[in-house]
Structure formats: C-alpha cells, structure tokens
Structure 1
Amino acid sequence: MSPTEVSVAVMRVTLLRPVPAGTASVTRIFLEPGRSAQPPAARKGPALLGSRIFVTGSPDPDTCLRDAGPADTPTAPMNPPMKTPSIPAAAAPFRTFLAVVSAGLLAAGVTMAAESAKVPPLLDDYSDARLNRLGLERLLINDAAAGSRSQATQKCDQGVLSVTGELVPGRGVPAFISCVSLLAPEGKPKDLTGYTGVRLKVKLIKGLLCVQVGTAVITNFDYHTGVPIAGKRGEFQEVRVPFKDMKRAWSEQTPLNAKSVTSVNLVSFGIAKDAFAYEVDEIGFY
C-alpha cells in the first residue's frame, strides 16, 4: 500500500504505514534533530495516528514518518509563516524570528485534559546528563525543517548545562536552536496556574537567548515567548520571565493559558551566520 500523506499545521508528513479508516489528523508530533528517516521495525498491527512520530525520523519502532516538508494545501485553521507571510510589516524583527522558531517546535494534541499532578518548582538542575528532574529526556531541536542548517551540542557537567553551536540561516529565513524540556511524557499538558512564570539561572556567553512556553491550546505553533534575556555576559544571573509578559509572534495576542503547559524551551536565534553559547545552572517556576 502506498504511503499516506496528511497535513499537520505547517508540516506535510508522509507516513510509511497506512492511516486507519476514519482518522482525520495526527494528534501529536515530536521533533528530534540529527537523525535521518528510517523504515520502522517490522511489527504486527497498523500504526495509529497519535502515536509517536519524529519529524526528522527515528530508529524508534513506533516511528511511521518517511519525510516532511511545508504543507502545500494546509488544513484550516492555519497561519504558516513558511507559506503565507502574515506578520505585519511594522512588527519588530524579533517577532519575525519567533514566527519561524515557533513553527519548528513541539506540538501536542489540544483535546487532552491537563494532568492534575502538581509540577514541582524545579524543572531541571542538570544533575543528570540526559533527563530533567521529571525524568524526561531533554530535546535539542534544530531548524532543518524550516530550511536552515544550524547545529548545536549540549552537555551537562557538575550540574551545569552547556549549549554551544552555530546558527546558519537558510535563504530568506532566520536560524534557531531550541533546547526543550517537557513537563510530562508525550507532551501532555500540565496545570501551572499556581506559578507566576519561568525562573532560571543562566550565563549568556554569545548570541541571543529567549524563554518560550509551549501550550496545548495553541494550534498554530505560535507559542508565547519572552524578550531576549538581557544582562552582563559571562556571569550567572537569575532571570524571571512572567507568563503575563510573554507574547505571540504573528497571532492575535492572548494571555498564556497556564492550565495547558507542555514544555519550556530555551531558544537561540539570529538572521546571520554566527556562533552562540550559554550555560544554565537550573530552570523552573516561581
């Protein structure tokens, strides 16, 4: 049977397994950099949409993606920056960055109810080389799906996360690298109404860095993002980014829905080829 194509927001994905009859859309997408698409391991039974799908492919046996690209006939409602430039001309360049950055980051199904278990104030102290304090793997997402060629590495040493890399914009698009911390397995939303915002201890070394919060109620990838972190470079500083001050890039401005938070993302970005680096001692909520 031939592969099945489905449109999901700004991405067109081609599945290696047939879509079950009556299934309308993929409910969940995870992005993972640095791996080429591979055929899934043989197993019995059809793959169900809503299972784990990596946009750049994965050796995971549940992977059913063959390739991905901008949707030619996107499903409504949608406002994709890669296909329809809809950001007002007067908008600040920073908002243009966010339009592309948001399009590349994690999306979660909007029909899921937020989990009731309270999220602890400390999301990650980087004491584990691979997992945050919630036991979830950190993700480092690049901009390949948006047409750029940025690369980065992350490592943990003595409780400090170091992220270094190079931003390489594609033709007509900015570059970004995002370090993503999920709050629950498979990107399920969590209720953070007991908190005011994101808190982190960070050392800026080179380049721009901002905090972004993903929520399940945002369906066009235009997640709420803070302004670039300011302050003296080369020294650790505590930064607090209130939820109420975070803005969306091209969509109508709405308050961040703290009842449906899926991830906290640290995003480096730029319009010219350049190196970037930063370190994080801890990140959480206040």
Structure 2
Amino acid sequence: MVEITDRIHEDALPGHESKLEPKPEWQPRYRSSDRLKDKVAIVTGADSGIGRAVAALFAREGADIAIVYLLEDDDAAETKRIVEAEGRKAITIRGDIGERAFADTVVQQTVDAFGKIDIVVNNAGEQHPDEDITDISEKQLRRTFQTNIFGMFFLVQAARPHLKAGAAIINCTSVTMYQGSKELLDYSSTKGAITAFTRSLSENLVGDGIRVNAVAPGPIWTPLNPCGGASPEKLEHFGESTPMGRPGQPNEVAPAFLFLACDDASYMSGQVLHPNGGIIVNG
C-alpha cells in the first residue's frame, strides 16, 4: 500500500478548508426533523467542502458519521467537532480511498464503532486542470480515476455485506459529466463513469431494497477549486457563468444528499439531482 505522505500531486490537493478565504458555508440552514434518526453514515471527503456540509446536516438530522479523509487532520477534527456539537457521534478515518485495503479499513472501523452502516456517501474526488490532452500524464490519469471512481467501487464492495434493505448509497458526480469541460478531461470522464456506475448499481441493488442515487453539483466554493490548479483569474470569476451568476455553497448542495439518503426519496433510485445554479442539462 502506498503511504499517503509519499503521494505526489501536481498541485496542493486536497487542500485545507481552514486556510481558504472566504470560508465555504457548511452550516445547516434549518432545524432537525429527525429524518436520519439513529442512522450511521460513511462520508468520504468529509473533512471539508461538500463532504463537511453533508456530515453536518446528516448529524443534525440524527445520524452518526464516519468522517473519511486523506490528509487534512485539522479539517477532519473540525468536522468531528461539528458533528458532536449536534449531539451525534463521529469517528475520523485517515487514508487513501483509492486503495482497496483502505476501503476495508473504513468499513471495519465504522462497524466496530457504530455496529452498522445505513448510508454510504461517495463524495471524495480530485481534479487537475490541463489545457491540452497531451499535458495529462499517465500518472495523473491513473490517479484521478483511482480516487474518483475506483474508490467508489472499493467502498461499496467493502460495505455491501453490511447494507440491508432501506440502505442508501449517494455518489457525487458533476455538471461536467453533462456539459463536458475542456480543461478537466480526466476529471469529467470520471464523472461520466460515476453517473453510469450509479445507474447500473441501482439496477443491481434495487431488488434488495437498497437505493442508489447521485448528486451533480455545479461550481461550488470548496478547497477543490483553488487547490486543484485553477488560476487566480479563473477563481475571480468562478461560478459567474451560471444563470444565478455566482458559485454555490456546500450547504446549498447538502440538502440534495439528505433527500436521497432519507425516506423522503423512498421511490427514487438510479437518479441524479442537479444543484448547479440553474444550468439546464439533459438527464
């Protein structure tokens, strides 16, 4: 297994939310209605961004959280504090979700701590902008797929024996799957794979009472953007091309994950929700 500290990125991924200005908005916007009372959720990439907002909202709705993250110990500790402030339990699990053995570790530690798994949120991802396809190294291509889609396969495979009827899996795809992205060729390709994975896995598991859906965010203000190689000029106008004329905040995306995780979405599987600032996409 590759040691995390030995991983070499072409940028500063995944990035510290604690160092980001302005800070992303993760705070839940409404009071609890116990929609996830006593559930247990695994959330990957939960140290910051969308993952933190999902963990915070799930905790407010009554869930205990396994916070899975790569490197940012301070951010993960803050997410744990947020969950516990909502009166729920949390554990932090540090490692590379692209490694199959680590997925087994995540599941085992979650079951050891909470006794079950009800919800799996596959949120962790990475991106590396490149202007030309020839600029994408084989190492980067393999790494992006390893994190973004292989990690989802590994975690679902590890969790599957513990998922019972009523369980939910929610995957994070992207608007780039539908629109394409000229500077994110490998990233948008993984998001296309994630959407196909979501639809196919739904067909595979729906007979067992396990729902599988996805969320396809548009431009959301998280550490992934400034730390993923975006230029200062691009960041200055980040999200302005959406019909709403601004980037979204993580707490504007988290409710889509909550809806798909709870019984409100009991008749939905194989579907994708689109919190993207008004961008019209097909399917």
TM score, norm. by length of structure 1: 0.28
Structure number with bigger Rg: 1
Report the structure, 1 or 2, having the larger strand content.
1
Report the structure, 1 or 2, having the larger helix content.
2
